Homo-oligomer: A and B are copies of this chain.
Amino acid sequence: MKDIKTYTEHGGNVYSDEGLLKGKNIIDFSSNINPLGVPKSFLNNIDEALESVIRYPDIEYKRLKKAIIEYHASETKLEEDNIVVGNGAAEIIDLSLSLFKNILISVPAFVEYEKTARKWGKNIEFSYLKEDMHYDYEDIIKKIDGADAVILGNPNNPNGNLIHKEKFYKILDKCERENKIVIIDEAFIEFTGNKSLSFVEDLKSYKSIFIIRALTKFFALPGIRLGYGISSNKEMIKNIKSIQNPWNVNCFAETAGVYVLKDKAYIEDTLKFMNSERKFFVESLKHIDFIKRVYNTEANYVLCSLSKIEASKLYKLCLDHSVAIRVCHNYRGLKGEFVRFAIKSRKDNLRLLEVLNIISENLRC
């Protein structure tokens, strides 16, 4: 078991000391990647990236920013200086959090928020999700008094719930008045298929919003490393750029961004698939005996609490069937036994359900 360390920190870590666990044919439910796979619009234009290897990237990434501007054109009117591009969303999280002294983090959440804030020696306050895994808006508005910035996911990771916009505007209004920044990580928002659930359209009205996006999840490009931040707060964008390394996005990531963001067929196919598959997957999980609760999700992953079995034990049993799952032991604020499953292809999902049922039957014996 020691050769997969998936449950130590992040999902998607399917490497051993000898490299990728190829021989094992692991189906990886720990990493929340679009099951439609790498968009052909990237692969078909790979020659363009290959031709660019010999040059430094455009240090201003004008072409990439143009693609981002067009991608969001129906939501808001962005200009180049509303955008900062990053070597994965990880870099954008890192640099945006670095700007503030006192940070409020809603938890459980993507573990990099806290890790990054600690790395920078920030003062950290936490707002815990309610028992139903929805945001505690009253708690956030109370605690934000002591913070310069708050970071939270829309939808949140690991559970997939969205920010309730109407309830959240009160928080935004307060932050707008008091010059606080609301960092909204929308790395998974496209899986909802509904642009009005994103806060991009609210950038027009709120200088306090800084939105993080990534191509990693929805466009299935985790190996590429491309994320970006957008805000109508040009001062904040400028401040991030001033501490950013030059040429931080490589030519392959740049090419990917330019082409996949306008790949309407891929986007539509994904939404069509995900909408129905999510329903099927969530309903099916509810029938697994040792799954206590399946949490509501608008994303491409499902958080489940367990009874009768420890998460680490389930992880090991699944791995015996060549299935990797995400044990949620390192999410602050998750009390009890939790696992997260990515929503993958129907075939893979059926295999997971089969494995879970086998484990369930064995538990009964």
Q: Footprint of B on A, CB under 8 Å?
A: 9-10, 12-15, 17, 19-20, 28, 31, 33, 37-38, 42-43, 46, 49-50, 52-60, 62-63, 87-88, 90-91, 94, 112, 119, 220-225, 242-243, 245-253
Known A119-B243, A247-B90; contact A57-B223, beta-carbon cutoff 8 A? yes
Known A10-B59, A60-B15, A252-B252; judge A53-B223 contact (CB<8 A): yes
Among B53, B54, B59, B250, the residue within 8 A (CB) of A13 is B59
Contact residues in B for A224 (Cβ distance below 8 Å): 53, 250-252
Q: Which 8 A-B pairs have the closest CB atoms?
A: A223-B251, A15-B58, A12-B56, A53-B223, A225-B250, A90-B245, A56-B222, A252-B252
Task: Given A43-B50, A50-B46, A62-B19, decide whether A55 and B250 contact each other with a Cβ distance below 8 A.
Answer: no
- How many Å lie between the Cα of A224 and that of B247 in the bound state? 10
Q: Which residues of B contact A58 (CB under 8 A)?
A: 13, 15, 19-20
Cβ of A94: which chain B residues have Cβ within 8 Å of it? 245
From A15, A221, A245, name the one whose CB has the most chain B CB atoms within 10 angstroms: A245
How many copies the complex holds: the figure is 2
CB–CB A250/B250 < 8 A: yes
Question: Taking each of A33, A37, A52, A57, which has the highest tally of chain B beta carbons within 10 Å of its own beta carbon?
Answer: A57
User: With a CB–CB cut-off of 8 A, which chain B residues contact A112?
Assistant: 246
Taking a contact as CB atoms under 8 Å apart, the answer to whether B242 and A54 are in contact is no
CB pair B91–A56 under 8 Å, yes or no, is no
- Further pairs besides A13-B56, A88-B245: 8, Cβ < 8 Å: A19-B63, A38-B54, A87-B245, A90-B247, A223-B250, A223-B251, A223-B252, A224-B252
Q: Which residues of B contact A53 (CB under 8 A)?
A: 38, 42, 220-224
Which of B15, B28, B42, B54 has a CB less than 8 Å from the CB of A33?
A: B54
Instruction: Kindly list chain B residues whose C-beta atoms are within 8 Å of the C-beta of A49.
Output: 223, 252
27 example contacts (A-B, Cβ-Cβ < 8 A) are as follows A12-B56, A13-B56, A14-B55, A20-B55, A31-B56, A33-B54, A38-B54, A42-B53, A49-B223, A53-B220, A53-B221, A53-B223, A53-B224, A54-B220, A55-B223, A56-B223, A57-B222, A87-B87, A87-B248, A88-B247, A90-B245, A90-B247, A91-B245, A91-B248, A224-B251, A225-B247, A250-B250
The one of B33, B54, B57, B87 that contacts A37, using a Cβ cutoff of 8 Å? B54
Query: What residue in chain B is nearest A57 (Cβ atoms)?
Result: B223
| B-chain residues with CB within 8 Å of residue A14 when the two chains form the complex | 55
